[in-house]
Amino acid sequence: MRYVNPALLGAAFIAAISVSTAAAQTGSGEKATISATPAAVTASREDAAAVARGGTLFAANCAKCHGATAKGMTGKDNTDLVRSLYVLDDEKGILLTPPIRDGRPDKGMPKSTLTDAEILDVAAWLRVQSYGAGHRTTYTFLDVLTGDPKKGEAYFNGAGKCNTCHSVTGDLKGIGSRYSPQQLQGRWLAPGGGRGGRGAATGTPSRSQRTVTVTLPSGETVSGPLDRIDDFSVTLHDASGAFRSFTRNGDVPKVVVNDPMKAHSDLLRTYTDADMHNMTAYLVTLK
């Protein structure tokens, strides 16, 4: 049994009121994100920082199939994770890591591109969701659209520096009509579908793809979309689309990786929950 702090009861009562209000506003519930209040995280005894990171990763990588609240998608019983035994019985990711890491390719769940540490964060977030489903009063609902579009717009053109790469009348025009609010949130949190799905490896990189330039001792340079890199070798597709692989020995050859999505991953570390909700609320208005 898990320990529940009696001092949380007061907070639980207030949270219970906001649950009914928020649920009434969102109607279908499809758009509602269930999110752990600090009280719920404390009561579940999960690490709050891991839960917060896991929630962001879940929204970006899993919500489109399992729903924002991990309660599954309408008409698909098998995507409800809140009542999954993998979640209910999980401890330290021991049960959850294999299905998340390997996916269920035969059933429509792709292999994950998350690191082991990220999977543990997602597992912590999922455990809190299950815990919360059994202790509803420690939870509040947050609609993905609870943000303020005006503030989102200000962040887009200000602190977020989004306008240095994007234009709401150019590449992001109509993005609010192309995706559901949930998907839209995923798009800007992890464009290109996470770190793995950056487009096919061909000679021409997509806008989100990492590229690499290799400078050989002879001075010859070869560059193109990065296929893989580790301490010992680097593989890329050159301008003709051909596969080129080079052995690395310290700084020889010289290797420079350019990651166009670095701005996005850097942003992931800087924005607050409010920035995230405001931004999604703003992007949704770009019809």
* Contact positions vs ligand HEC (CB under 6 A): 61-62, 64-66, 78-79, 81, 84, 86, 96, 99-100, 104, 107-110, 112, 114, 122, 156, 160-162, 164-166, 175, 187-188, 191-192, 207-208, 260, 263-264, 267, 279, 283
Q: For residues 125 and 246, which CB has a smaller minimum distance to ligand HEC in the complex?
A: 125
**Measured from the CB atom, is 21 or 265 closer to ligand HEC?**
265
Comparing CB distances to ligand HEC, the nearer of 13 and 171 is 171
Question: Which residue, 223 or 278, has its beta carbon nearer to ligand HEC?
Answer: 278
CA angle 224, 229, 230 (to 5 degrees): 160
Nearest to ligand HEC of 29, 99 (CB atom) = 99
Long-range pairs, 64-69, Cβ under 8 A, ≥24? 64/182, 64/183, 64/186, 65/108, 65/109, 67/30, 67/182, 68/30, 68/31, 68/32, 68/33, 68/34, 68/144, 68/182, 69/29, 69/32, 69/33, 69/34, 69/129
Shortest distance in whole angstroms from residue 84 CB to ligand HEC: 3
CA 209 to chain centre: 17
Burial 255-270 (b: 16+ CB within 10 A, else e): beeebbbeebeebbee
Q: Residue 32 or residue 190: which is nearer to ligand HEC going by CB? A: 190
Rounded least distance, CB 134 to ligand HEC, Å = 17
Return the closest-CA partner of residue 49 out of 113, 116, 125, 112.
Answer: 125
Min CB(85)–ligand HEC separation in Å: 6
**Residue 162: CB minimum distance to ligand HEC, A:** 3
- Residues 113 and 136: their CA atoms lie apart, in Å, by 32
Q: How far is the CB of 72 from ligand HEC (least distance, A)?
A: 9
Give the separation between CA 166 and CA 279, rounded to whole angstroms. 13
Closest approach, Cβ 75 to ligand HEC, in A, equals 12
We find the least distance from the C-beta atom of residue 73 to ligand HEC, in angstroms, to be 9
First to last CA, the chain: 49
Q: Which is nearer to ligand HEC, 43 or 122 (CB)?
A: 122
